[in-house]
Each structure stands twice: as structure tokens, then as C-alpha cells.
């Protein structure tokens, strides 16, 4: 009886998951709608604070969602993903300060540099077993962080990249204008999410799920496990770097904290908060964490304790992220409605 009901529930829920064609158009429509709403926000609310909040959400959201491609989809728990966030911020900042190339060029070159570094680090890391992978990625994060600290002549050491990032206008976009920066960040966020969604739902995305579930079996159906892991490691790094570039533009500089391991920690934290089983979980987690951060730090000095309690609530109380919880709850309700 129960089995029958479970079967029915699954049937009503599952088919759309695999019907990619309609789903892809749906994704594009949702993305467009989200972008329109975000773009209209400045007209409805004049608050600069709100726009700043959204820009930070874009930076951290891209970073956290890309981390979820590794953690949630592939089962690669990276403790060093933040290094690519830092690389993006520093690469872009330095490029603009030292060479004066147009912004799109700096953007693409930064991605290219990130790609090369991610290939090298990834090639070393992805063959390692879980715990070693986690700690070797963390080690690379620390390596990059200390390089930034000690290479003072280039990076400004612990002072960070100061003096602002020059922003020559391009294609009619002037990123020194706050509104332009806002719209550009939103566009990057939406495009980035859409691309990551495409990756997650593509045959390759399902290859990643197979690797996460059972890497041995995956290799016995002809999948080069380490190559697939390397590809997603590099792709995720590119999106994290994009997040870092948004951050660099937002604060008009780059600071060693952007490349510190705590950024990776926050990424993991966000994923735990929002949940890793849904695509938008990390995005929800980002919004939650930033709201928590902003409000709690204003109210008390002991914000670390509050955040700790929150994560304990999610980890021990719910045993999943918020979006996981919501999705399961809806699935259950729907199942009961039909049964």
C-alpha cells in the first residue's frame, strides 16, 4: 500500500526532471523574468543599500553555486574553492590597474588565467580520494593566499590592491556608475546561473551525478572519471572567478581575505544553509547568509556564535539545507494529496 503510494508520488514528480527541452526554455524564461525583476528594482526602491546587497549576492551567489557543482553534483568536497574567487578578484584588479586594457578584455584574460591555474591544481587534486582532495585543495588555497601576502610589490601584501580599479567605459557601459555596475552584476549572475544550470542538466551533468553516486560503476560504463572531475573543477573555478571579479568591482579593489580559506568555508556554509540537492539552494543560502551577516553584525559583537547556532540548527535539526527541506515538504504534501 505504502509502496504503491510512493510509486504514484514519484510518477507525478519525476517526469519533468528529464524532459530537458521544455525545461531549457523554462529555465531561460525564468532567468529572463528574474533579470527583469532585478533590473526594475532600482526604479521601485531608490535604496543604494539594497542594490549593494544584490551585487554582493551576485558575487557570492555565483561562487556558492559553482561550489555546489562540485559538492552537490559531483561529490567533490573542495575546501579551497575560494582561491578562484580570490584569483578572479586579484587577476581582474591587477589587469585593470597595471595594463589598462578594456574591461571585457581583462574579464576574459582573467578567466583564461584562472582556467590555466585550475587545470594545473585540478590535475593534481581530482585523482585524490575525498579527504585528501579536501585538504590538498585547502593547501592550495593557503598557498595562493600566502603568495598574495608575500608578493608585496605586485599585490600590495596585506594592504590589498588599493587605489581603486579604473573603469573605462565600454559599449556604453560605465561601471563607475553604480546603476550600471548593478545591472552588469545582475546580468553576470543570471547568465552564470543559466550556464551552470545548463551544465547541470546536460548529459555531462548526469555523468557528474553518476560519479557522485558510484564512481567505480561510472568508470565501468566507459566514463573517464578523473577527466570529468577535472572538467567540472575548471568550469566551477571560472564561475567562482566571475564572482570574484564582481566583488573586485564592487569594493574597487582586492583584499587578501578574498583568497583566504574562510571564503571557501563560507561557500560550504552557504551550501549547507541553502541545500545542495536543488540547483537554487546555494543561491537561497547566499541570500540567507548575507542577511544574517548584515543584521547580526549590527546587533551584536558575538555574531560568530549566532551563525554557529544557525548552522547547527540546519546541520543537526533539519539535517539538510533550507531548499532541500522545502522541496521535500512539497513533494510529501503532493504525494499525500494524490494518495
Applying CB under 8 A, does 7 fall inside the site for other proteins? yes
Binds other proteins (CB under 8 A): choice among 131, 221, 309, 316: 221
Degrees to nearest 5, angle at CA 128 with 122 and 130: 105
Three-state DSSP at 192 gives helix
Which of 248, 293, 258, 263 is closest to 64 using CA atoms? 263
User: How many residues belong to the site for other proteins (CB under 8 A)?
Assistant: 31
All residues at 6 or more sequence positions from 118 whose CB lies less than 8 Å from its CB, including other chains: 84, 233, 234, 237, 238
Applying CB under 8 A, does 1 fall inside the site for other proteins? no
Nearest distance, CB of residue 199 and other proteins, angstroms: 10
Binding mask 16-45 for other proteins (x = CB under 8 A): -xx-xx------------------------
DSSP track, 42-102: HHH---HHHHHHHHHHHHHHHHHHHHHIIIIII----S-THHHHHHHHHHHHHIIIII---
For 161, phi then psi, to 5°, come to -80, 110
Residue indicated by cell numbers 576574459: 108
Binds other proteins (CB under 8 A): choice among 137, 207, 264, 278: 207
CB of 151 or CB of 206, closer to other proteins = 206
Which of 99, 92, 81 is closest to 136 using CA atoms? 81
Binds other proteins (CB under 8 A): choice among 210, 238, 247, 249: 210
Q: Contact region for other proteins (CB under 8 A) — 56-64, 215-223, 241-249, 256-264? A: 215-223
Q: Contact region for other proteins (CB under 8 A) — 119-127, 167-175, 188-196, 221-229? A: 221-229
CB of 47 or CB of 214, closer to other proteins = 214
Q: Which of residues 160-189 bind other proteins (CB under 8 A)?
A: none
CB of 21 or CB of 129, closer to other proteins = 21
What residues make contact with other proteins under the rule CB under 8 A?
Answer: 6-7, 10-11, 14-15, 17-18, 20-21, 201-204, 206-207, 209-210, 212-214, 216-225
Amino acid at each position: 500500500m505504502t509502496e504503491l503510494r510512493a510509486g504514484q508520488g514519484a510518477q507525478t514528480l519525476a517526469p519533468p526532471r528529464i524532459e530537458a527541452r521544455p525545461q531549457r526554455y523554462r529555465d531561460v524564461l525564468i532567468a529572463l523574468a528574474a533579470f527583469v525583476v532585478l533590473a526594475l528594482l532600482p526604479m521601485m526602491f531608490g535604496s543604494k543599500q539594497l542594490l549593494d546587497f544584490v551585487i554582493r549576492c551576485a558575487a557570492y551567489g555565483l561562487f556558492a553555486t559553482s561550489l555546489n557543482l562540485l559538492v552537490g553534483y559531483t561529490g567533490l568536497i573542495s575546501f579551497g574553492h575560494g582561491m578562484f574567487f580570490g584569483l578572479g578578484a586579484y587577476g581582474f584588479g591587477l589587469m585593470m590597474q597595471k595594463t589598462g586594457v578594456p574591461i571585457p578584455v581583462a574579464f576574459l584574460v582573467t578567466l583564461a588565467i584562472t582556467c590555466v591555474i585550475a587545470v594545473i591544481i585540478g590535475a593534481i587534486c581530482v585523482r585524490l580520494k575525498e579527504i585528501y582532495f579536501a585538504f590538498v585543495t585547502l593547501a592550495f588555497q593557503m598557498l595562493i593566499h600566502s603568495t598574495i601576502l608575500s608578493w608585496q610589490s605586485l599585490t600590495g601584501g596585506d594592504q590589498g590592491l588599493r587605489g581603486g580599479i579604473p573603469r573605462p567605459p565600454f559599449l556604453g557601459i560605465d561601471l563607475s556608475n553604480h546603476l550600471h555596475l548593478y545591472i552588469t552584476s545582475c546580468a553576470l549572475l543570471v547568465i552564470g546561473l543559466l550556464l551552470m544550470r545548463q551544465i547541470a542538466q546536460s548529459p555531462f551533468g548526469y555523468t557528474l551525478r553518476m560519479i557522485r553516486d558510484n564512481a567505480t560503476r561510472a568508470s565501468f560504463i566507459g566514463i573517464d572519471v578523473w577527466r570529468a572531475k577535472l572538467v567540472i573543477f575548471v568550469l566551477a573555478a571560472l564561475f567562482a572567478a566571475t564572482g570574484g571579479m564582481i566583488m573586485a568591482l564592487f569594493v574597487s579593489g582586492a583584499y587578501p581575505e578574498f583568497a583566504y580559506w574562510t571564503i571557501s568555508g563560507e561557500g560550504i556554509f552557504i551550501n549547507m544553509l541553502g541545500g545542495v540537492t536543488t540547483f537554487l539552494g546555494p543561491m537561497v543560502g547566499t541570500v540567507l547568509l548575507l542577511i544574517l551577516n548584515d543584521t547580526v553584525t549590527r546587533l551584536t559583537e558575538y555574531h560568530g556564535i549566532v551563525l554557529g547556532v544557525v548552522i547547527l540548527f540546519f546541520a543537526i535539526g533539519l539535517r539538510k539545507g533550507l531548499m532541500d527541506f522545502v522541496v521535500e515538504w512539497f513533494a510529501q504534501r503532493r504525494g499525500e494529496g494524490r494518495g
